[in-house]
């Protein structure tokens, strides 16, 4: 056997933290979505990954963000939501973002979460998810969303997770147009 | 804003590589499952995480493994399959484990993949998945599998992914018994 890979060092690009620090507080779903859409746009313009971003907010304050890093990191699991959730759990030193001793947390994502990310959201303990572009928008741009059905959403809702979709949908779709215009391709 | 978390350093426990190196080649599904079940058992006995393990094989040879690390790493996404797939992609420096220039790869998991891991498998490009314990076994032990439906499996199969379930199921279930006997709890 070749030596077994045992370590993964993952990092957000250097431009992400200053980008987020420059944003004002984000009171309300649309303001939070604008921050996330700004991250998605910058991720595209810097050729830093696919046209997706996400952030975990504690009562309007950003606590962690993620951008799609599949192609640059050669890691198919690095969707924006995956990084945002993992980094939020690191920030709070907890595998449960719904724990009673934490502030009320929510995930805002530039696009409806795919099958993998919906599962990740369920395991994270997050209780509210706001998304922008719809599944149909992602599919039209060539991105598969995987086995997500109306019953999948009901499954999460039955466990107390509020799912809000289509916030700033038109602006959110523009990320896909920008990605295509710059020669980005679905993968 | 507090300083934004931007880095994640993930690592398998030190005992994993020697454990795998001590195993002979694994020709056939049952031999590969025995290797994986041995990892799950050792993960439990060392209090290193939940009762789950997984490995990616290239024609009988292990190329990457994962064990459940949710509680020790305080990261709800670190299912065994997630680590095994991420590490295999690192090994091959590719986000596509189904690429034509790679050997034929398959994932072997001690338990049926949950909703998140099924999505991760789809995005990884893996074309064959072998699992041991069934969803009902995990649920009986207190572990939710998330929104996975017969249509979810059909979705993957329609994309050319072969799903083989219940290999060494009885032995695979024993991991749950061992976990409970040692005071481990579902989370």
% of chain B surpassing 70 pLDDT: 99
Task: Give the span between the Cα atoms of B171 and B133, in whole angstroms.
Answer: 8
Residue A38 has pLDDT above 50, yes or no: yes
Q: What is the mean pLDDT of residues A30-39?
A: 96
Work out whether the CA dihedral A136, A141, A147, A148 comes out positive or negative: negative
Distance in Å, alpha carbon of B28 to nearest chain A alpha carbon: 17
Distance in Å, alpha carbon of A181 to nearest chain B alpha carbon: 23
User: Chain B neighbours among A 86-115 (CB < 8 Å)?
Assistant: 86-91, 93-97, 114-115
Q: Are B149 and A144 within 8 A, CB to CB?
A: no
Under a CB-based contact definition with an 8 Å cutoff, are residues B83 and B10 in contact?
yes
Distance in Å, alpha carbon of B15 to nearest chain A alpha carbon: 11
* Phi, psi (degrees; rounded to nearest 5) at A111: -145, 155
Question: Angle at CA A119, nearest 5°, toward A115 and A125?
Answer: 145
User: Does any CB of chain B come closer than 8 Å to the CB of residue A119?
Assistant: yes
Residue in A74, A123, A187 nearest the CB of B89: A74
A77: chain B residues, CB-CB within 8 Å: 82, 85-86, 89, 120, 123-124
Neighbouring C-beta atoms of residue A45, cutoff 10 Å: 12
User: Chain A neighbours among B 140-179 (CB < 8 Å)?
Assistant: 144, 146-149, 151-152, 155-156
Q: What is the mean pLDDT of residues A93-122?
A: 98
- Round the average pLDDT of chain A to a whole number and report it: 95
Q: What is the mean pLDDT of residues B15-34?
A: 91
Tokens of B38: 């041995």
Q: What is the mean pLDDT of residues A147-165?
A: 98
pTM: 0.97
Tokens of B164: 């083989």
Residue in B1, B61, B74 nearest the CB of A1: B61
The confidence band for A1, taking pLDDT boundaries of 50, 70 and 90, is very low
Q: Are B91 and A146 within 8 A, CB to CB?
A: no
Place of tokens 């939501």: A81
The CA distances from residue A170 to A127, A133, A163, A173, in Å, are 25, 7, 18, 5
Q: What is the pLDDT of residue B2?
A: 58
The CA distances from residue B93 to A1, A143, B107, B145, in Å, are 17, 22, 17, 30
**Is B157 known to be catalytic?**
no
Residue in A118, A123, A146 nearest the CB of B76: A123
Q: What is the pLDDT of residue B149?
A: 98
Residue B152 has pLDDT above 50, yes or no: yes
Place of tokens 């939020």: A88
- Strand duo B105-111 + B53-58: pairing: antiparallel
Neighbouring C-beta atoms of residue A111, cutoff 10 Å: 33
% of chain A surpassing 70 pLDDT: 99
């Amino acid at each position: 056997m070749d030596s077994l890979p045992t370590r993964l060092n993952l990092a957000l690009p250097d431009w992400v933290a200053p980008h987020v620090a420059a944003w004002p507080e984000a009171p309300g779903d649309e303001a939070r979505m604008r921050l996330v859409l700004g991250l998605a746009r910058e991720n595209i313009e810097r050729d830093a990954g696919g046209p997706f971003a996400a952030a975990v907010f504690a009562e309007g304050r950003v606590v962690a963000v993620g951008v799609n890093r599949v192609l640059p990191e050669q890691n198919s699991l690095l969707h924006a939501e995956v990084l945002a959730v993992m980094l939020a759990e690191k920030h709070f030193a907890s595998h449960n973002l719904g724990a009673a001793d934490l502030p009320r947390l929510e995930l805002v994502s530039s696009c409806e979460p795919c099958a993998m990310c919906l599962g990740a959201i369920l395991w994270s303990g997050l209780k509210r998810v706001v998304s922008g572009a719809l599944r149909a928008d992602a599919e039209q741009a060539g991105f598969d969303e995987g086995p997500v059905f109306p019953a999948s959403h009901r499954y999460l809702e039955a466990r107390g997770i509020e799912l809000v979709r289509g916030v700033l949908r038109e602006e959110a779709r523009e990320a896909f147009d920008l990605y295509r215009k710059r020669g980005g391709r679905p993968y």
